[in-house]
Structure 1
């Protein structure tokens, strides 16, 4: 990693205002208007810092396209459908999804595409990838997307939303902060006073956590916004991210640079800074506003239920031996449920208007491939 111009700015803020909450540090690392990681670069692919599922194989986006078709039919096949993607990367997933949807002209003609992206570099990549797509618009926030029946896709979106960390000390739960050590380097610390009545917010598994335990939580605003939209305007949202099925204690704050873990305090703005997603908390927040929740399930289970094995077999049948091997490797990578495999680390959660039941892949009864 190169020298971080953001580091000195963060140190100056700490010196003038005191220790900085982890959520604020994460926000600056990712979204600082000049030096933020997601403002200034394309982080994807082999030459970037990490690889997302759409970059692994076309099958991922194609199957999400078929999932979209399945939900659209459940919605009553509206003549206008806003297909919204949050954090679309290079546009790869949307391109693959739309290719799959071209076999359904009534749906394809109904689509309006909305990409929520703040990174100008990635917007240019998306525009090039989707140059032949009609009815497409970019937005800084999902709030800017016009009303109407919607299906929202969010792959690796929630993990980069700022997370609050609380650490348990002898006298209660304290906000975890970033401070400057005697050698002038950044280090973790704790606010001097406990957060009043924080215990009442804790899920059951965390209430008996030992001294020194860390609990992470994200404000519910973003998930409640999505849940309210699909509840009121018809539709569904699909959230795919790495995280845990149940709320529990644990420090998952991490940085990734050049496909390897890095010190999250060493070069702010130069690495992807994330924290695992609490899917139980997402589900609870969505239910609180009256949306229906489907899942969560592991990514491996979800992809197998919506037909990735069948799709892989069809692609391999027409492929050269070398390409067939690549497809097989990609299939395993996306669905592997072994320790550290994407199939188990990543979880999938569906949120919908109350009348929609049994969303494909999130129920044993329906499959996305059953669209024709």
Structure 2
């Protein structure tokens, strides 16, 4: 802790325009949701996805919840993430980085501290999965630049939406352009305002091999899940079917049903020791967890995962948010965000199978931020304030990030590191998790 404390003292001296720091104020009453969305010009057809899903189910039969989520969130024509900007008070949800840049600053300090412990290896890659508007990466780069830690460093963003990558480039870059040829592993490149190269990829496996500081903030909670329900006859997979009666030809209503027979995913994913009434499993997330583990073992690195989640105790968490309110996930597909809590016990299990990976967590956001010194940063900023509204705004942002009834308990953090660092970690425990 002493290593972090010494850095925090220096870090608190960073001088930034106060107005810039607290533009990300929000109303405490709004429900928090995460992930990213895109503005795109398309023909207005509020029933496009509903009709598409209706015809699909009518033709092939009930679909899995995972398939439903993929269509609703990622459909290239009308997917939720592909057509709208849902951030902020006027949207459907807000994220920690959009509330205050303090959040990104504290994560940057944590990465710097842990990186310095192991000798600051270079070249260094900063990798973010699902970077939203680019706000979090932008805040992290500013702190790294302040500590002169960007020499031989590059930024790599895993983003499936070309449209959203344009939003990120405007946040992060002085200039950017599409990749010069189709053979490139990245599809876009640019130069950040700090003067380091940044690249965009469709998937993590395309990111080059190098020592990596990887961040996945509110990324896995939007990955497709398979749902299973325990019945008197054993577990059955939950599917999505059409309502038996439709009120009119222009109304499309859906319902949950249980598969009559064991589905392939039931046989593959569900453990024989499972006892929960409802179980949610994301095979897509599991593949990415494995990729992260393999990457930090092969190339060296540190991964930090932060998300809504539980430690293997969650049950029925599949839900939808619209205008900061929870709504029916099956109503008006594409009009609301879909999410399910992350099972951190799965991350731990995958890490344990890889004998060369250490896992620590999960801890709550409140505990993590307090252990890395957020109260000192807030205190230092308040000392330089004279405007009462600015002070109240800062306190409101701090409370929103750490209060147990808001983000403090809902979000969990875990970290992954290679076991080759065990001797160092034993001597200097990982801050925030010890």
When the two structures are superposed, what TM-score results if normalisation uses the length of structure 2?
0.78
The residue aligned with 2:399 is 332
Runs of 4+ residues deviating >4 angstroms: 195-200
Deviation at 1:46, TM superposition (A): 2.1
Separation (CA, whole Å) in 2 of partners of 1:289 and 1:74: 23
* Bigger Rg, structure 1 or 2: 2
SS at match of 2:150: helix
Conserved 8 A contact 2:57-2:63 = yes
Separation (CA, whole Å) in 2 of partners of 1:217 and 1:203: 14
The residue aligned with 1:369 is none
Q: Could you tell me which runs of 5 or more consecutive residues in structure 2 were left unpaired when the two chains were aligned.
A: 1-43, 175-191, 247-252
Residues 242-261 of structure 1: pairs in structure 2 closer than 5 A: 242-245=308-311, 247-248=312-313, 250-261=315-326
SS at match of 1:70: helix
In the alignment, structure 1 residue 182 sits paired with structure 2 residue 225: no
**Root-mean-square deviation (Å):** 1.9
Deviates more, 1:114-123 or 1:147-156: 114-123
Conserved 8 A contact 1:41-1:122 = no
The residue aligned with 2:329 is 264
Separation (CA, whole Å) in 1 of partners of 2:307 and 2:122: 30
Residues 1-372 of structure 1: pairs in structure 2 closer than 5 A: 3-105=46-148, 107-132=149-174, 133=192, 134-184=196-246, 185-195=253-263, 198=267, 201-202=270-271, 206-207=274-275, 209=276, 213-219=277-283, 220-245=286-311, 247-248=312-313, 250-290=315-355, 291-319=357-385, 320-338=387-405, 341-356=406-421, 357=425, 358-363=429-434
Deviation at 1:120, TM superposition (A): 3.1
Number of equivalences: 354
Separation (CA, whole Å) in 2 of partners of 1:263 and 1:154: 27
The residue aligned with 2:249 is none
Conserved 8 A contact 1:39-1:118 = no
Conserved 8 A contact 1:40-1:119 = no
Deviation at 1:249, TM superposition (A): 5.2
Separation (CA, whole Å) in 2 of partners of 1:306 and 1:263: 38
Q: Could you tell me which runs of 5 or more consecutive residues in structure 1 were left unpaired when the two chains were aligned.
A: 364-372
CA, structure 1 residues 200+100, in 2 after alignment: closer, same or farther (shift >3 Å)? closer
SS at match of 1:88: coil
